[in-house]
Structure 1
């Protein structure tokens, strides 16, 4: 835990059960709490560094978890190793402090950050004499204080001098960040368990750096200014050329808009995704999509061919999908007739295989977080390809779930735990896939579903029909369910219902889903019945 005189990290806020408080004297520093209610509670720290608050349940005569302080992966102690910084809002949570590089680039590329980082330039200090300086890092949770020294009466200036004159001192900061700041804490040895807050907050940390490293960073800033001047000169010439090409570009763009595509010089048709000014997707989501989609390759994932980021203009170049997205077919009365049951079943299988690749078989374990009919594109043969990875997140090591305060996605496809608590995992993708299956089977949107006399959404309606042994009434009215497809329709409905169960532990993993969908009807029925019970 970390206390900066304003807040806890992780937060341990006052609530109806207990009130936390912090004690700091010349003799001791500790955290404690006092009970504010009749509930008996304790704190438990397990071997992984996770902190739980347990309350005693007199009815079941056992301790039950009331609060899990480990809200996201960055609360895991030392996740990014020494001199590594963790940011739970980033696609890849770990990075090195500026001026540091991974100790093992190969392990970092495999999403193993435990080896941490080392200085790019070694320090030059002997007996307190040298030409080292300090680099300021903002919006951080301070490092672990096991090897730290504290003086509450010092100011930041005195703190700087004391650290500079001691070659063993690696960083310093204020202990109290209120107002202009006060108190001094010095760190000795490696810096461990640093966290960065994207939305602000945290505190400033001053890290010891070699003078040459600081000069190189300042020189980089000067080069950028010089480069800007050169760019300004070149832009004048470019402007003349731009005027000459405006008419030609206008004609080409008009044709592209009419067809919805562009054509490369080699004749290949492409689709261009352009981030508009009023788009809900931001620069972070756009870059996230580039990073992730460039690292995955599967026949059921859309392929990116290139990208462009220039000032406010951001574009992604994809392979062209002539049949656009799945929602254009299944929710349209006329076009839905073009989707036979066989074709719908192939689409379900294709989406499942693409999701299985993301969860298990890709180099990065990827959670899509926005799986929906609009993000399933169809090629010329109506084969599905999962697209739009702007909200996707990666998991590393043995990580299985994470938590975010920034809940994003599409209403109607979000799992209950994600919508209510910001908790997402592979099982939240499984829930979205279950919604997709039921929409493909029924031809109806979950969020817009209405049945006179009932308040059910599509999922509730499907459960009722299943429990009343009337599941075939869910099927889209555009085709007839004959004997040849009856078992496959029921199998898909079973799997869809299994995937959208309320509790994530009751949902299957994607390997189990693919197995049940692809197995013979008797085996699949036995498996789904086992899960549903």
Structure 2
């Protein structure tokens, strides 16, 4: 063989080898092999497909896992129960255009089955974790011939459909792993139970073997009736599709940087939603099911309800009695309950219905649904059938619509304190009469109790008023307005004691001048250092604002909120006593070149995260939802460890329940930090605080004040300047010169600029909640959405020379109270 022939064979061999092996990619084409040791990686690097060994097993499986999460969190397995016991495995596309997993001696371990053969088959791992087979010649890239999302394992990912494709006869169910070492089918399976032929009411059921283990309750138009906690949230959107072609549930993430999944496992909490917390490197449970005894299927047997707040937890429905009283009293509820009086089935006029509220609806196995009926027609439908025992709306949105009726005994009912559903249960005429009599007696008892309570209440109120006035006059106020102040639930200090502690409010002890008056350092008799805020008589903060600040701060307990020690009211003097912060306020450091050098980036980032966590507590975790309305650098104090504490709650507003926003005719706050919708329309919400936080974040990074920045920059505001630099790819120019040596943290700093710009977007709807902000700050490498242009992109003369509503907004009736003094 000559050299030329040898060279030709060598080149042909290299070309063939190149075509039959795989580089790092997300695709697998014909004549290519994915061998053990090589992987496919999705386009954005979120998921990886390849061969793995679970736990302490020695077997090899083809699966998909999160690429950047330690510990190989596997979300899908191809050959679940057919392991390969060596490293000979390979994946390829066969001559029929289907995927084949080959093991020893090229034996087929696992394969797909597509009804249509592709002209140019292509397998691809998508960035949502879906492994798909499609025709590369097909212009519709979502026209899949096969997809792993149709054959789920133990994990439910964003974008998957959980339930039925009725046209294809496909039922997408999950099942747990047998163990951590074996991904084969375990004891638990989870699927939507639905009989399209008999038009039953679809609902998800978790099975343990052949026995029902847990139900979520059927879908009622808003949520599963057994999951009142399923509500709109900052993590994901969800929907339930119920049509002639499909019956399924799915969810989609609102923010791609969030990593969350639902899994079925072998533990007592078999169904869990888990969210990855990057900073802690853990999967944190978001919810679990079953959550308690009442979630165990059939806990109380037939025709009984389970109530976790009562003891015993099981109770027969009204009109029913225990089937076996002896077993029931010994807390064996498996036999359930039977009717106290039989139905008059063939005499419809004698039967009626009792309304039960706050329920997880019964097992929907023996039901019938009509989505076009109203509730009146539904009642008539139930009465016309001797076997019908209950009915309700199938969709509770608006005024309710649709009809669902139950036949036979009612199983697996539980009661919720709130968020449950109404059910109308069929009763005999005698039971209806008893119920009405009981209701009449109950109403009478309630009225008598209310009258007695009112009388006792008036007596107690009079007693406590007298007692309180005596205490108040002796210990608190020496003024002509006795009886007008409130008990503020805080230690009340004597004015003389505070005067002594501050050396009679000496100038040497003055820490600074806030918008509502000076702040002094003091030392109590026991040696405790304090900061005393002395409300100026000429300040904008009156008695109402003072009381507001006292009552709000007294109820707040968080490491990133300033702690109040007490207060003092004496004639016109109103004093707040706080814990002393030796390192003054944040503005003392970030706006001063010499002091700024002491605050390196790691500490600035720690301060930023602390402020964010404090705001998150105010917005979501405290007993009341609190809007600060005056978040700024001078209102962030620093303790001896340089940890941040949010202070000055004089302008804060508290909301109860589900209230998210408010409106005011008196716009108060600090220019440079107020959100546009608040400054010009009086509308404040948690999103207006988010805007202020975004400004503060950009100030921490740049070392520049938002207020007045435009004078030196041709009318461009600080946030407009940041947004422009980011769009030009030159955001590094925005960073404080004191931080230029933070090269190791440059990626983190640039990410924080990005987050800050998300917070200052013009529309409140576009801004993230503080829960999302904290998650983004802790999210590490997660992808952030692109910000829209910010509010106040360029300075206008609206703020230039005016401070009152008459000049600022001539067409409105808002009062503007702008705080310009920022020292402390």
TM-score norm. by structure 2 comes to 0.35
- The counterpart of 1:529, out of the listed 786, 789, 814, is 786
Which residue of 2 is the match for residue 450 of structure 1? 710
CA distance in 2, matches of 1:512, 1:391: 25
Please give the secondary structure, in 2, of the residue aligned with 1:359. Answer: helix
Unpaired segments ≥5 residues, structure 2: 1-453, 481-493, 512-519, 791-824
| Greater C-alpha radius of gyration | 2
Change in Cα spacing, 1:245 to 1:438, as seen in structure 2 (3 Å) is closer
Please give the secondary structure, in 2, of the residue aligned with 1:493. Answer: helix
Contact 1:498-1:532 within 8 A present in 2 as well:
no
Please give the root-mean-square deviation of Cα atoms over the aligned residues, in Å: 3.9
Q: For 1:461-480, what per-residue CA distance to the aligned partner results, in whole angstroms no more than 9, with x for missing partners?
A: 11110110111100111231
Which residue of 2 is the match for residue 403 of structure 1? 663
CA distance in 2, matches of 1:230, 1:437: 44
Contact 2:568-2:575 within 8 A present in 1 as well:
yes
CA distance in 2, matches of 1:378, 1:346: 12
CA distance in 1, matches of 2:498, 2:688: 47
Unpaired segments ≥5 residues, structure 1: 1-208, 236-241
Residues 1:463 and 2:751 are matched in the alignment? no
Q: CA deviation at 1:263?
A: 1.2
Which residue of 2 is the match for residue 31 of structure 1? none
Which residue of 1 is the match for residue 566 of structure 2? 306
CA distance in 2, matches of 1:256, 1:368: 31
Q: CA deviation at 1:518?
A: 1.0
Q: CA deviation at 1:334?
A: 1.6
Residues 1:350 and 2:610 are matched in the alignment? yes
CA distance in 2, matches of 1:230, 1:306: 14
The within-5 A match list for 1:128-207 is none
Which residue of 2 is the match for residue 370 of structure 1? 630
Residues 1:317 and 2:577 are matched in the alignment? yes
Contact 1:270-1:318 within 8 A present in 2 as well:
yes
- The counterpart of 2:778, out of the listed 518, 522, 527, is 518
Please give the secondary structure, in 2, of the residue aligned with 1:270. Answer: strand
CA distance in 2, matches of 1:431, 1:371: 9
- The counterpart of 2:755, out of the listed 495, 498, 502, is 495
Higher helix share: 1
Q: CA deviation at 1:383?
A: 0.6
Q: For 1:234-254, what per-residue CA distance to the aligned partner results, in whole angstroms no more than 9, with x for missing partners?
A: 99xxxxxx9x99997895654
Q: CA deviation at 1:381?
A: 1.1
Change in Cα spacing, 1:308 to 1:474, as seen in structure 2 (3 Å) is same
CA distance in 1, matches of 2:701, 2:509: 33
Residues 1:275 and 2:535 are matched in the alignment? yes
Change in Cα spacing, 1:470 to 1:248, as seen in structure 2 (3 Å) is closer
Q: CA deviation at 1:331?
A: 1.0
Change in Cα spacing, 1:430 to 1:409, as seen in structure 2 (3 Å) is same
Please give the secondary structure, in 2, of the residue aligned with 1:385. Answer: strand
CA distance in 2, matches of 1:528, 1:437: 18
Please give the secondary structure, in 2, of the residue aligned with 1:314. Answer: strand
Which residue of 1 is the match for residue 597 of structure 2? 337
Q: CA deviation at 1:268?
A: 1.5
CA distance in 1, matches of 2:475, 2:545: 31
CA distance in 1, matches of 2:771, 2:473: 52
Change in Cα spacing, 1:362 to 1:446, as seen in structure 2 (3 Å) is same
Structure having greater relative contact order (Cα 8 Å, sep ≥ 6): 1
Which residue of 1 is the match for residue 739 of structure 2? 479
Contact 1:329-1:336 within 8 A present in 2 as well:
yes
Q: CA deviation at 1:530?
A: 8.1
Q: CA deviation at 1:282?
A: 1.4
Change in Cα spacing, 1:267 to 1:513, as seen in structure 2 (3 Å) is same
Detail structure 1 runs of 4+ shifted over 3 Å in the superposition: 227-235, 244-256, 450-453, 528-533
Q: For 1:491-521, what per-residue CA distance to the aligned partner results, in whole angstroms no more than 9, with x for missing partners?
A: 110000000000000000001100111111x
TM-score norm. by structure 1 comes to 0.53
Contact 1:516-1:528 within 8 A present in 2 as well:
no
Contact 1:495-1:528 within 8 A present in 2 as well:
no
CA distance in 1, matches of 2:789, 2:499: 63
Please give the secondary structure, in 2, of the residue aligned with 1:506. Answer: coil
CA distance in 1, matches of 2:596, 2:585: 12
Q: CA deviation at 1:333?
A: 2.0
Please give the secondary structure, in 2, of the residue aligned with 1:462. Answer: helix
CA distance in 1, matches of 2:702, 2:632: 15
Please give the secondary structure, in 2, of the residue aligned with 1:529. Answer: coil
Which residue of 2 is the match for residue 426 of structure 1? 686
Which residue of 1 is the match for residue 509 of structure 2? 257
CA distance in 1, matches of 2:619, 2:499: 47
CA distance in 1, matches of 2:582, 2:649: 20
Change in Cα spacing, 1:250 to 1:327, as seen in structure 2 (3 Å) is closer
CA distance in 1, matches of 2:498, 2:595: 39
